[in-house]
C-alpha cells in the first residue's frame, strides 16, 4: 500500500509551506497507483474536500514539478500525466489500445544506453524510455510483465500539455 505521507514529506524536505489543500493534493498523489492527470487529481481531491479548486490543483502540480517532486509524462492522448520522482528509475510501456502503463526496469537497456553514450564520447547523466505498443493477437489473456499501473480509462487520464524530463 502506498505511503499517504510520501509526497508531503518530500515537500517539507524541499522547504515548501504545507497548506491544508497542498496536504490534500500531496496525499492524493501519494496514494495514486497510476499516472493521473491534473483533472483526475482534481476529481480525487474533490471527493475528499469540496472546497478544493482546479486552479489550486494546477498551481500545486506545477510547483511540485518545479521543485522536482513530480515528473510529467506524455503518454499520448494530449494530456500530461504525473508521478513522484522518488519512484525509482524505471521505464514505461504504454498499451496504445487501452492506455495502460506498464512500468519496468531492464539492466541490459541501462548497459546499452551507457555504452552508446561512451562510444559517442559522453558520460550518461540521465535518460528516459517510453515504449508504445499493442498486444499481439492471442496474447490478450496473458498478464503483462512488470509493475503494471492501470490508469483511468482513455479520456479520463491525462492533463494538459506534454512534457519531458528524465526517466522516473
Q: CA 62 to CA 56: how far, in whole Å?
A: 10
Q: Please, which residues have CB within 8 angstroms of residue 51's CB and are 6 or more apart in sequence?
A: 21
User: How do residues 101-158 score in pLDDT, each as one tens digit?
Assistant: 777 777 888 888 888 999 999 998 877 777 788 988 876 545 444 444 433 333 333 3
Report for 9-18, 49-58, 88-97, 132-141: range of highest mean pLDDT: 49-58
SS3 breakdown of the chain: % helix, strand, coil, rounded to 5? 35, 15, 50
Where in the chain does DSSP place strands (E)? 70-74, 80-84, 91-95, 101-104, 130-133, 147-149
Q: Which domains does the chain have, with CATH numbers?
A: 6-149 (1.10.10.10)
Confidence of residue 46 (pLDDT cuts 50, 70, 90): very high
- The SS3 of residue 49 is coil
**What mean pLDDT value characterizes the chain?**
75
Q: What's the confidence (pLDDT) of residue 166?
A: 37
Q: What's the confidence (pLDDT) of residue 49?
A: 92
Q: What's the confidence (pLDDT) of residue 80?
A: 73
What's the start-to-end Cα distance of the chain, in Å? 19
Does position 42 have pLDDT exceeding 90, yes or no? yes
For helices 20-31 and 54-66, angle between their N-to-C axes, nearest 10 degrees: 70
Amino acid at each position: 500500500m502506498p505511503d499517504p505521507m510520501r509526497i508531503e514529506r518530500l515537500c517539507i524536505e524541499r522547504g515548501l509551506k504545507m497548506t491544508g489543500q497542498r496536504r490534500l493534493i500531496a496525499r492524493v498523489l501519494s496514494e495514486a497507483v497510476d499516472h493521473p492527470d491534473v483533472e483526475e487529481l482534481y476529481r480525487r481531491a474533490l471527493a475528499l474536500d469540496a472546497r478544493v479548486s482546479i486552479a489550486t490543483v494546477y498551481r500545486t502540480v506545477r510547483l511540485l514539478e518545479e521543485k522536482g517532486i513530480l515528473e510529467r509524462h506524455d503518454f499520448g492522448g494530449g494530456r500530461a500525466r504525473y508521478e513522484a520522482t522518488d519512484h525509482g528509475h524505471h521505464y514505461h510501456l504504454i498499451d496504445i489500445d487501452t492506455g495502460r502503463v506498464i512500468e519496468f526496469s531492464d539492466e541490459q537497456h541501462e548497459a546499452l544506453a551507457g555504452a552508446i553514450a561512451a562510444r559517442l564520447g559522453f558520460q550518461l547523466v540521465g535518460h528516459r524510455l517510453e515504449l508504445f505498443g499493442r498486444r499481439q493477437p492471442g496474447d490478450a489473456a496473458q498478464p503483462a510483465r512488470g509493475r503494471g499501473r492501470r490508469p483511468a480509462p482513455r479520456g479520463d487520464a491525462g492533463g494538459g500539455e506534454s512534457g519531458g524530463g528524465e526517466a522516473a
